[in-house]
Amino acid sequence: MQPPNPSQQEMIAAICAAFGGDDPASCGDVPKAKVLEWMRSSDLQVQGALYSMVSDAARAGHIRPALQVDDYFTFVLDYLERCIELDDSREWVDSRYLAGHQLVAWIVDFWNNASVPREKLAEIKRRLSALYKRGDDGVRDAVLNAVLEHLFEHQLIANYFQSWESDPILSSAYRDALLWVKKKL
Protein backbone atom coordinates (compact mmCIF):
# COMPACT_ATOMS: atom_id res chain seq x y z
CA MET A 1 0.00 0.00 0.00
CA GLN A 2 1.28 3.47 -0.99
CA PRO A 3 1.81 5.85 1.96
CA PRO A 4 -0.37 8.98 1.90
CA ASN A 5 1.09 12.10 0.34
CA PRO A 6 2.59 14.42 2.93
CA SER A 7 0.72 17.65 3.55
CA GLN A 8 2.07 21.00 2.47
CA GLN A 9 3.21 21.83 6.01
CA GLU A 10 4.88 18.42 6.42
CA MET A 11 6.81 18.91 3.17
CA ILE A 12 7.90 22.41 4.14
CA ALA A 13 8.99 21.17 7.58
CA ALA A 14 10.96 18.34 5.95
CA ILE A 15 12.65 20.73 3.52
CA CYS A 16 13.59 23.17 6.29
CA ALA A 17 14.86 20.38 8.56
CA ALA A 18 16.94 18.84 5.76
CA PHE A 19 18.66 22.16 5.14
CA GLY A 20 19.41 22.89 8.80
CA GLY A 21 16.35 24.90 9.80
CA ASP A 22 17.37 28.16 11.43
CA ASP A 23 21.01 27.03 11.62
CA PRO A 24 22.43 26.33 8.14
CA ALA A 25 25.70 25.29 9.78
CA SER A 26 23.89 22.27 11.24
CA CYS A 27 22.90 21.07 7.78
CA GLY A 28 24.17 17.63 6.86
CA ASP A 29 24.20 16.10 3.41
CA VAL A 30 20.91 16.51 1.56
CA PRO A 31 20.29 13.76 -0.99
CA LYS A 32 19.90 15.13 -4.51
CA ALA A 33 17.19 12.55 -5.19
CA LYS A 34 15.11 14.00 -2.34
CA VAL A 35 15.59 17.56 -3.63
CA LEU A 36 14.50 16.46 -7.11
CA GLU A 37 11.45 14.78 -5.57
CA TRP A 38 10.51 18.00 -3.75
CA MET A 39 10.97 19.95 -7.00
CA ARG A 40 8.11 17.96 -8.51
CA SER A 41 5.61 19.47 -6.09
CA SER A 42 3.09 21.75 -7.76
CA ASP A 43 2.36 23.56 -4.47
CA LEU A 44 3.68 27.13 -4.66
CA GLN A 45 4.40 27.28 -0.92
CA VAL A 46 6.47 24.08 -1.10
CA GLN A 47 8.25 25.40 -4.18
CA GLY A 48 8.98 28.65 -2.34
CA ALA A 49 10.43 26.85 0.68
CA LEU A 50 12.63 24.71 -1.54
CA TYR A 51 13.65 27.68 -3.71
CA SER A 52 14.75 29.61 -0.61
CA MET A 53 17.00 26.70 0.35
CA VAL A 54 18.52 25.86 -3.05
CA SER A 55 19.10 29.53 -3.90
CA ASP A 56 21.18 29.95 -0.73
CA ALA A 57 24.69 28.86 -1.72
CA ALA A 58 25.59 27.78 1.83
CA ARG A 59 22.58 25.49 2.02
CA ALA A 60 22.69 24.30 -1.59
CA GLY A 61 26.30 23.29 -1.07
CA HIS A 62 25.06 20.42 1.09
CA ILE A 63 23.17 18.72 -1.75
CA ARG A 64 24.92 15.47 -2.67
CA PRO A 65 25.69 14.99 -5.44
CA ALA A 66 25.49 18.67 -6.40
CA LEU A 67 22.66 19.96 -8.56
CA GLN A 68 23.51 20.75 -12.17
CA VAL A 69 21.83 23.45 -14.29
CA ASP A 70 19.58 20.88 -15.96
CA ASP A 71 18.44 19.65 -12.54
CA TYR A 72 17.09 23.00 -11.35
CA PHE A 73 16.53 25.11 -14.48
CA THR A 74 12.86 24.27 -15.09
CA PHE A 75 12.02 24.31 -11.38
CA VAL A 76 13.47 27.79 -10.83
CA LEU A 77 12.02 29.25 -14.01
CA ASP A 78 8.56 27.79 -13.28
CA TYR A 79 8.64 29.05 -9.70
CA LEU A 80 9.75 32.61 -10.51
CA GLU A 81 7.31 32.84 -13.42
CA ARG A 82 4.42 31.70 -11.21
CA CYS A 83 5.41 34.25 -8.55
CA ILE A 84 5.37 37.07 -11.10
CA GLU A 85 2.08 35.90 -12.55
CA LEU A 86 0.18 35.12 -9.35
CA ASP A 87 1.61 37.75 -6.96
CA ASP A 88 0.81 35.46 -4.06
CA SER A 89 1.57 36.90 -0.62
CA ARG A 90 1.85 33.75 1.47
CA GLU A 91 4.80 33.11 3.77
CA TRP A 92 7.09 31.10 1.48
CA VAL A 93 6.12 32.69 -1.83
CA ASP A 94 8.20 35.55 -3.26
CA SER A 95 6.37 38.70 -4.34
CA ARG A 96 6.22 39.35 -8.08
CA TYR A 97 8.83 42.12 -7.80
CA LEU A 98 11.24 40.08 -5.69
CA ALA A 99 10.81 37.17 -8.11
CA GLY A 100 11.53 39.56 -10.98
CA HIS A 101 14.72 40.80 -9.33
CA GLN A 102 15.81 37.23 -8.66
CA LEU A 103 15.13 36.36 -12.29
CA VAL A 104 17.38 39.24 -13.36
CA ALA A 105 20.21 37.99 -11.15
CA TRP A 106 19.77 34.48 -12.52
CA ILE A 107 19.77 35.66 -16.16
CA VAL A 108 22.85 37.85 -15.65
CA ASP A 109 24.64 34.95 -13.95
CA PHE A 110 23.77 32.65 -16.85
CA TRP A 111 24.80 35.32 -19.35
CA ASN A 112 28.22 35.66 -17.74
CA ASN A 113 28.76 31.92 -17.35
CA ALA A 114 29.96 30.41 -20.63
CA SER A 115 29.33 26.89 -19.32
CA VAL A 116 25.56 27.51 -19.30
CA PRO A 117 24.09 26.40 -22.63
CA ARG A 118 22.84 29.40 -24.59
CA GLU A 119 19.60 27.51 -25.22
CA LYS A 120 18.77 28.17 -21.58
CA LEU A 121 18.88 31.93 -22.21
CA ALA A 122 16.71 31.49 -25.31
CA GLU A 123 14.19 29.54 -23.22
CA ILE A 124 14.08 32.26 -20.56
CA LYS A 125 13.58 34.92 -23.24
CA ARG A 126 10.78 32.87 -24.84
CA ARG A 127 9.06 32.28 -21.50
CA LEU A 128 9.38 35.93 -20.48
CA SER A 129 7.82 36.94 -23.80
CA ALA A 130 4.91 34.54 -23.29
CA LEU A 131 4.43 35.74 -19.70
CA TYR A 132 4.30 39.36 -20.82
CA LYS A 133 1.89 38.62 -23.66
CA ARG A 134 -0.61 36.66 -21.54
CA GLY A 135 -0.23 38.82 -18.45
CA ASP A 136 -2.56 41.44 -17.10
CA ASP A 137 -1.38 44.99 -16.41
CA GLY A 138 0.20 43.98 -13.09
CA VAL A 139 2.21 41.17 -14.67
CA ARG A 140 3.31 43.40 -17.55
CA ASP A 141 4.34 46.12 -15.12
CA ALA A 142 6.40 43.62 -13.12
CA VAL A 143 8.09 42.23 -16.23
CA LEU A 144 8.95 45.75 -17.34
CA ASN A 145 9.97 47.28 -13.99
CA ALA A 146 11.37 44.32 -12.08
CA VAL A 147 12.98 42.44 -14.97
CA LEU A 148 13.59 44.27 -18.24
CA GLU A 149 14.68 47.62 -16.85
CA HIS A 150 17.37 45.96 -14.76
CA LEU A 151 18.38 43.45 -17.41
CA PHE A 152 18.84 46.21 -19.93
CA GLU A 153 21.44 47.87 -17.69
CA HIS A 154 23.63 45.26 -19.38
CA GLN A 155 23.94 46.48 -22.98
CA LEU A 156 24.65 43.05 -24.46
CA ILE A 157 21.57 41.59 -22.81
CA ALA A 158 19.47 44.52 -24.07
CA ASN A 159 20.78 43.75 -27.56
CA TYR A 160 19.81 40.10 -27.08
CA PHE A 161 16.20 41.22 -26.56
CA GLN A 162 16.20 43.48 -29.62
CA SER A 163 13.85 41.13 -31.50
CA TRP A 164 11.11 42.34 -29.13
CA GLU A 165 11.28 45.72 -30.88
CA SER A 166 9.50 44.31 -33.94
CA ASP A 167 6.74 42.53 -32.00
CA PRO A 168 3.50 44.55 -31.76
CA ILE A 169 2.92 43.55 -28.14
CA LEU A 170 6.49 43.43 -26.82
CA SER A 171 7.83 46.54 -28.57
CA SER A 172 6.50 49.05 -26.03
CA ALA A 173 8.03 47.09 -23.14
CA TYR A 174 11.34 46.91 -24.97
CA ARG A 175 11.38 50.65 -25.71
CA ASP A 176 10.23 51.62 -22.21
CA ALA A 177 12.94 49.51 -20.59
CA LEU A 178 15.61 51.08 -22.81
CA LEU A 179 14.26 54.54 -22.02
CA TRP A 180 14.47 53.82 -18.27
CA VAL A 181 18.10 52.74 -18.64
CA LYS A 182 18.96 55.90 -20.60
CA LYS A 183 17.33 58.08 -17.94
CA LYS A 184 19.14 56.25 -15.17
CA LEU A 185 22.51 56.72 -16.83
- Chain-wide mean pLDDT for the chain? 94
What does the pLDDT look like over 140-171, one tens digit per residue? Answer: 999 999 999 999 999 999 999 999 999 999 99
Domain ranges of the chain: 98-185
pTM of the model: 0.93
What does the pLDDT look like over 51-99, one tens digit per residue? Answer: 999 999 999 999 999 999 999 999 999 999 999 999 998 899 999 999 9
What's the rounded Cα separation, in Å, for the pair 62 and 21?
13
Cα 40 → chain centroid: 15
What's the rounded Cα separation, in Å, for the pair 18 and 148?
35
What's the rounded Cα separation, in Å, for the pair 132 and 8?
30
To 10 degrees, the CA torsion angle through 161, 162, 165, 169? Answer: -20
For residue 101, count other CB atoms closer than 10 A to its CB: 18
